[in-house]
Structure 1
Amino acid sequence: MELRVDEAQALVDEAEEIARNTRTQDEQDLVGDADDHDQEFMSQSVYDKIPSSEAGSTPRKTKKVHRKKSMPILHEHFEPGTAIRELRAHKDTITAIDFDAPFGTMVTAALDDTVRVWDLNAGRCMGYLEGHTASVRALQVEDNILATGSMDATIRLWDLSKAHYDPHGGLGKDDDEDAIAFGTDNHLEPPPGSMADCPLYTLESHVDEITALHFRGDVMVSGSADKTIRHWDLEKGRCVQTLDVMWAAAASMTTTDSGWRPTGRSQSSSADFVGALQVFETALACGTADGMVRLWDLRSGQVHRSLVGHTGAVTCLQFDDVHLVTGSVDRSIRIWDLRTGSIYDAYAYDNPITDMMFDARRIVSAAGEDVVKVYDKVEGRQWECGAGITAAEDGKTPAIVERVRVRDGYLVEGRRDGVVGVWTS
C-alpha cells in the first residue's frame, strides 16, 4: 500500500509540473474579439491573457483545503463506474450540487431548505449554511468560495475556508485514514455554529427566484424567473449590468444574421426564466425556457449570436474553446460547434435532461433515470453509472438522479430522495 501511495504521489507531482506549463482545456473557452466580434464572436484573442492553471482562475489567495494529496489520482487504480461512497445528504430532492476537487469539499442543497457542506475524504457533513429563507436552486464552489442562489431571490457568497471543522473529528488519525475508504456516509453530526464565520455578503437585485448562476474570478452572472440576467462585480459586491431576456427574445423576432439562423422561432413569452449560464470575462452563454441558447457580449450588453435547435427549455450548458454542450427538456443533448454555430452532434434520451457537465474525457447527464448517462468522448461510447445498475440484484429501488457533477474522472450525483452517490467515471 505504501508503494502505491508513493507512486501516486509521484504522479501527482508530475501532473502538477505539467499543469504549470500547459494551458488547460477550460482556459481556452469562447470569447468575442473586441475589434471583429461581428464576424467571429468566438475569437481566441482574449485567451492570451488567461493565467496558467497553477495560477488559478481567480485572483483570490489559495485557501486551506481538507484533502489528501494522493486522492486526486486514485481513480486511475479503479474501473470506471466504481462506487466510492453514498451519502444520505438530505431528506428531500437534491436541487443543486457542486464540488471543488476529487475528495475535496462538496456543497449540496435540497427542497428541505438546507444547504450542507461535506468533506468528501471522510464522507462527513462539515456544517449547515444558514441565511436563505427558501430553497437554493443554484450554487457553485471554487477555491472555497461558494455562491448560492435561492428561491428567496437573493444570492449569498460564502468563504468555506473559515469553517470551524476538524477533519479528524474526534477520530484517531489511523481511523481517519480508513475513513477515505470506499463505503457509506459517516453519521457524525457537525458541531453547532461550525459555519458561523463563512458568510461574506448578500446580493439583492433580482425580484424573483434565482434559477442559474456562474462565476469566474470576480465576474458573476445570475439568471432569474424575473426574466433578467444580472452581471455582478464580486470585488465590489454590486450589480453592474442588467440584461433583459424578454427584450432579447422580442428583438430576435426581427433580427437575422447571414451566417446564423434567425432566432424568432418561438414566442418570446415562453422565455420566462434562465435555465443555465456560463461566463468567461466578457462572453456569456445562456439557455432559456424558449429553447434558445444566446451568446451575449457583456461589453455591449447585446446578444451577438443565437443557437437554434432545441424545442424545449434549456436546463444546462457548458462550453470550452470549440464546443458548447446543452441539455433540454426536449430530451436531447446537443453539441454545438462555436466556430460555425452548427450542431456538431446530438443525443436523444427517453426523458428530459435535468443536468449535464463534461470534463476532458466524458459528458455526464441526468436524464430522468436511476443512473447517470455517460458519454466517453475519447472512445466514442455511451455507458451508464449509478445505483440503478445493480438495483435489481441488491433488491433496492434507487431514486431518480436529478443533479450531476464531474471533475477529473470523479462523479457525484444527487437524487430525488436526497441521497448523493460518489463514483469513479
Structure 2
Amino acid sequence: MQSSDPRHFFETDAEQELRKRRSAKAGNRHGNPIVLKSKILAAIADPRFPSSAILVAESTGSVRQVKLDDAENAKPVVYRGPGAPVCSIAVGGPGFGTLFAGSWDKAVWSWDLVTKAPGRKYLGHSDFVKAVVCARLGDKHVLISGGADKRIIVWDIASGERLHTLQDGIVNMMSLQDLVVDHASSTADEIHLLSASSDPHIRRWKIRSDGWEKIVDSSSDTPGTERHTILEHETTVYKLVFDQDTDEVDLWTASGDGTAKCLSRITDFAGCDDTFNHGGHVRAVAVTDQWVITAGRDEDVKFWDRSSGQLHCSLEGHYDEVTDLIIIKSPSGAAKVCSVSIDGTVRTWPLEKAALGALVKEQEAPVEATDKEDEDEAKGGDLMTADEEAELAALMEDDD
C-alpha cells in the first residue's frame, strides 16, 4: 500500500515547519468548516439552490454538492466517473441541466445535474483540462474548455462536435488557468471570451459559428501600435471575474504576483483602476458593492473596503491554500462568501461589518493544537498517492 503521509518521506526543515504550523492551525472552527475527505480545487454555486449549496471539484476525481446550512444531515450528492482529480466545473446546456467537469485525465466529463446520470465525455485535449465554461452561440449550447496543452476548444454540447480550437500565434500562450464569458459584450451570434494563463497575458476572443478571432485593438500607451493582450500583471493570472454590481461590469483579476486588480471596461480594460496587494499567490477574488475579497496561498481570506481600497480585516481559518471564493446571495437572509481549500474544508464568512468584527475578535482567542495527519486518518484520508500529491503540488506551483 502506498503512503501519502509526508512523515514517511524526506522533508526539508522548511517543509517540517510548514506541516507543524498547519497541524497546529487545523483544529480551528473559524468559518464553520464543513470537512470533506479530499482536497477542493474549484467551486461554483449550485444553480438549483444558489442561496444554500455549492458544487465542488475534488481531488478524488468527483464533483460533490455541499449543502451549506445542513451539511451533516444532507444526503450526499456526488457525481463520479473520472479516475483523476477534477480541477474545474461548470453548469450549462438546455435549462442549465448539465454539469461539466474538467479533469487531469485530459477529458471533460458530464452528468445530468438532477439524476447524476453520466453524459457525454468530450475528448480533445492532450493535457489537464483546467477551465470550463458554458455559453449560447446562435441556436447551439456550447462548452468551452481550456487546458494545460495551451489550447481552448469550443464544443457543441448536443453533438460533442469540436467546433473550434483557439490558439495564440502572436504572443505565446501557456497553460490555461481560467475562462470567463463577457456577457456584456457578447451577442446572440458572437461570444466574447477572456482567458487567463500561466503567462501574465489576458487574451480576448470573438467566437462565432463560422470562425473565431483574437481581439486586437490600438494601444493606448503607444498610438499606432496594436495591443494583442491585456498586460497588467507580472506573472500567472489565476482568476477572472466580472463585477455584476456595477453598470460598467468591470473585470477583476487575481494573480501569482500577489495582487488582485480592477480593470475598467470604460478604458477597454487598458490600465488598472485599483490594485489590492494581498501578498503571496492570489488564487481567488470575489466582489460585492462593499467588499473586494481575496484569498490564495497564504491561507487567509482578506476583506478590502471597495471605496477606500484599505484592508478591513484578514480572517484566519484555512490551513492550506485557498482555491476559490463564491458569493452566496440569499433572497431572505444576509449574503455571505464561501471559501474552499486544499485543506478539504468549505468555510462560510459573513459580509456585514459587525459580524466580521466579531470574527476578528474570535480568531484572536487561542486555538487547541491538533495533529492534521491523525485528523486525515480519522476522516478517511485523501485517497491520493504520494506521486499524485507531488503532481498536485507541482500543478499549484504552475506559474511559469
The CA deviation at 1:75 is: 6.4
The CA deviation at 1:153 is: 1.1
Q: Which residue of 1 aligns with 2:145?
A: 148
1:84-143, CA deviations, whole angstroms, 9 ceiling, x for partnerless residues? 412323111221122349983211112121210111211121110122221111122356
1:389-415, CA deviations, whole angstroms, 9 ceiling, x for partnerless residues? xx9999633569xxxxxxxxxxxxxxx
The CA deviation at 1:300 is: 4.5
Change (3 A) 1:362 1:98: farther
From 325, 329, 336, the counterpart of 1:362: 336
Q: Are the aligned partners of 1:211 and 1:224 in contact in 2 as well (CA < 8 Å)?
A: yes
Opposite residue 85 of structure 2, the aligned amino acid is T
The CA deviation at 1:314 is: 1.1
The CA deviation at 1:150 is: 0.8
Q: Which residue of 2 aligns with 1:94?
A: 86
1:126-176, CA deviations, whole angstroms, 9 ceiling, x for partnerless residues? 11012222111112235643221111111122342x2xxxxxxxxxxxxxx
How far apart in 2 are the matches of 1:74 and 1:317? Answer: 19
How far apart in 2 are the matches of 1:395 and 1:317? Answer: 30
Q: Which residue of 1 aligns with 2:117?
A: 124
How far apart in 1 are the matches of 2:376 and 2:320? Answer: 21
From 208, 216, 230, the counterpart of 2:182: 216
The CA deviation at 1:215 is: 1.0
User: Does 2:278 correspond to 1:310?
Assistant: yes
Opposite residue 288 of structure 1, the aligned amino acid is S
Give matches, 1:12-51, under 5 Å: none
How far apart in 1 are the matches of 2:68 and 2:296? Answer: 32
Unpaired segments ≥5 residues, structure 1 = 1-68, 163-194, 250-270, 383-387, 401-415, 417-425
Q: Which residue of 2 aligns with 1:201?
A: 164
Change (3 A) 1:370 1:287: closer
Q: Which residue of 1 aligns with 2:105?
A: 112
Q: Which residue of 2 aligns with 1:165?
A: none
Q: Identity of paired residues, percent? A: 19
How far apart in 2 are the matches of 1:239 and 1:359? Answer: 33
Opposite residue 278 of structure 1, the aligned amino acid is V
Opposite residue 146 of structure 1, the aligned amino acid is L
User: Does 2:324 correspond to 1:324?
Assistant: no
The CA deviation at 1:276 is: 0.9
Opposite residue 371 of structure 1, the aligned amino acid is T
1:300-340, CA deviations, whole angstroms, 9 ceiling, x for partnerless residues? 44223242331211111232333332221111222233322
Q: Which residue of 1 aligns with 2:381?
A: 397
Using structure 2 for the length normalisation, give the TM-score. 0.58
Change (3 A) 1:376 1:356: same
From 146, 152, 157, the counterpart of 2:154: 157
From 342, 345, 359, the counterpart of 1:371: 345
The CA deviation at 1:244 is: 4.9
Q: Which residue of 2 aligns with 1:293?
A: 260
Unpaired segments ≥5 residues, structure 2 = 1-46, 54-66, 187-191, 217-227, 330-334, 360-371, 385-391, 393-400
From 250, 273, 297, the counterpart of 1:283: 250
Give matches, 1:169-180, under 5 Å: none
Q: Are the aligned partners of 2:261 and 2:276 in contact in 1 as well (CA < 8 Å)?
A: no
Q: Which residue of 1 aligns with 2:44?
A: none
1:168-193, CA deviations, whole angstroms, 9 ceiling, x for partnerless residues? xxxxxxxxxxxxxxxxxxxxxxxxxx
User: Does the residue aligned with 2:271 lie in a helix, a strand or coil?
Assistant: strand
User: Does the residue aligned with 2:229 lie in a helix, a strand or coil?
Assistant: strand
User: Does 2:232 correspond to 1:232?
Assistant: no
How far apart in 2 are the matches of 1:119 and 1:398? Answer: 26
Q: Which residue of 2 aligns with 1:334?
A: 302
From 132, 138, 145, the counterpart of 2:131: 138
Opposite residue 86 of structure 2, the aligned amino acid is I
Provide the aligned C-alpha RMSD in A: 3.6
Q: Are the aligned partners of 2:182 and 2:194 in contact in 1 as well (CA < 8 Å)?
A: no
Deviation larger for 391-400 or 359-368: 391-400
Q: Which residue of 1 aligns with 2:220?
A: none
Q: Are the aligned partners of 1:243 and 1:301 in contact in 2 as well (CA < 8 Å)?
A: no
User: Does the residue aligned with 2:123 lie in a helix, a strand or coil?
Assistant: coil
1:263-313, CA deviations, whole angstroms, 9 ceiling, x for partnerless residues? xxxxxxxx3211111236662211111111122235344223242331211
How far apart in 1 are the matches of 2:50 and 2:295? Answer: 29
How far apart in 1 are the matches of 2:379 and 2:322? Answer: 27
Using structure 1 for the length normalisation, give the TM-score. 0.55
Give matches, 1:262-273, under 5 Å: 271-273=234-236
Give matches, 1:180-199, under 5 Å: 195-197=159-161, 199=162
Q: Are the aligned partners of 2:237 and 2:253 in contact in 1 as well (CA < 8 Å)?
A: yes
Change (3 A) 1:276 1:72: closer
